[in-house]
Amino acid sequence: MKPLLKKFIKIILKYPVTLFNSIFLYLYYTFSHKGIYKKTLAFSHGKNKVLFMAPHVDDESIGVGATLLKHGEKGDTIIGLYMADGGGAVSSLDKESLIQLRKEEAHTIKNIIGIEQIYFLDIPDGQVMVREEYVDRVYSILVKESPDIIYMPFLLDGHIDHVNSSRILIESIKRWDSTFNNIFMYSVNTPIRPDLINTVTIMDKNLFDKKNTLYDVFKSQYVMGFDAFESVNRALRLLVKEGYALEGFVKGDLDRIIEFNNILIEEGFNPSQFRQLSSRYNLFFSYMKNKKLKDSYMDIFKDLLLITQEA
């Protein structure tokens, strides 16, 4: 399909698709089974050191942006870790210029949120794999920074770089502190089923607007429809019927996360089996593609969470 024709069709479909998404998200989050929710440690008293891992620059804003802003307002120390170099994004720039631009965007986010330090592993896009050298580098960062709280993408994700980034971090945490359990997993482009969400950051209108200004930083990501993530955050508030919008997380015990990862590997989980959420035009498909398979994986992790709760 020619670019101009594709653009014209999207303009025509914009409002019908937006209305359809609003109805779908309302029904999905209203009638789905729900969990028991606690507020993130961003709301807790006392200072913490927070480390977030983002596979790519912009993933932190999509999945945990409001929570990081809350940590920053509270005065917590925030450390950022970016795994992939971002050079595979759709762009008119050459690869090296694109990588540099995305690093500049990360530094802009650093200044807005109040992040103390950011690290770049610079793994080429599409080539993030669990290698000893990457585990070693992340382990050294954990030793140096010694965080109290870690945020990382949920293992069920539609992007292989996201899944393997979390696997690298898991291996590094195992080596650094096998008893560490303040791990909060966030969704990027594969929504977490509501009954697995057990920790939330509730946004008022002001915090919601602040989070959305983060998206304005990412000029390199002009093909992304960040308004889709705004719609999901708004709909998530239906889980707690409080606030203006919401970010949802799965807080997991390290042993259970390791066990779940092992099961996914044994079952041959392939991120390409899911559709990535990247705009209003594929929102419905990101929820529904291979839903039965997705639910079967979610059920496994839910059972593992129940084991932790009963222990």
Q: Does the pLDDT value for residue 73 go beyond 90?
A: yes
Mean pLDDT to the nearest integer, 171-177: 98
User: Burial, 1: exposed, middle or buried (Cβ in 10 Å; 0-12, 13-18, 19+)?
Assistant: exposed
% pLDDT > 90, the chain: 87
Query: pLDDT tens digits for 98-114?
Result: 999 999 999 999 999 99
Contact between 171 and 261 (Cβ < 8 Å): no
* CA-based end-to-end distance of the chain: 55
Let me know if domain 36-310 sits in CATH 3.40.190.290: no
Contact between 247 and 201 (Cβ < 8 Å): yes
Residue among 61, 58, 64, 59 nearest 42 (CA): 64
The structural domains of the chain, with segments of one domain joined by +, span: 36-310
Per DSSP, the three-state class of 53 is strand
User: CB under 8 Å to 6, separation ≥6 — which residues?
Assistant: none
* Assigned token pair, 78: 């925030």
Mean pLDDT to the nearest integer, 52-62: 97
Q: In what order do the strands lie in the sheet with 199-203?
A: 38-39, 199-203, 245-252, 183-186, 149-153, 49-54, 77-84, 117-123
pLDDT of 223 reads 75
Q: Does the pLDDT value for residue 1 go beyond 60?
A: no
pLDDT of 175 reads 98
Q: Does the pLDDT value for residue 309 go beyond 70?
A: no
Entry pTM = 0.94
Query: pLDDT tens digits for 263-296?
Result: 999 999 999 999 999 999 999 999 999 999 999 9
Residue among 191, 150, 210 nearest 287 (CA): 191
Query: DSSP characters for 213-255?
Result: HHHTT-GGGTT--THHHHHHHHHHGGGTT-SSEEEEEEEE-HH
- Assign 12 a pLDDT band (cuts: 50, 70, 90): confident
Q: Does the pLDDT value for residue 222 go beyond 70?
A: yes
% pLDDT > 70, the chain: 95
Query: Count of CB atoms within 10 A of residue 154's CB?
Result: 26
Q: Crossing angle of helices 59-74/205-215, nearest 10°?
A: 130
Q: Does the pLDDT value for residue 7 go beyond 80?
A: no
Mean pLDDT to the nearest integer, 249-253: 95
Query: pLDDT tens digits for 148-172?
Result: 999 999 999 999 999 999 999 999 9
pLDDT of 3 reads 61
pLDDT of 202 reads 98
Contact between 160 and 276 (Cβ < 8 Å): no
Mean pLDDT to the nearest integer, 240-265: 96
Q: How many CA atoms lie within 13 A of 168 on its CB side?
A: 31
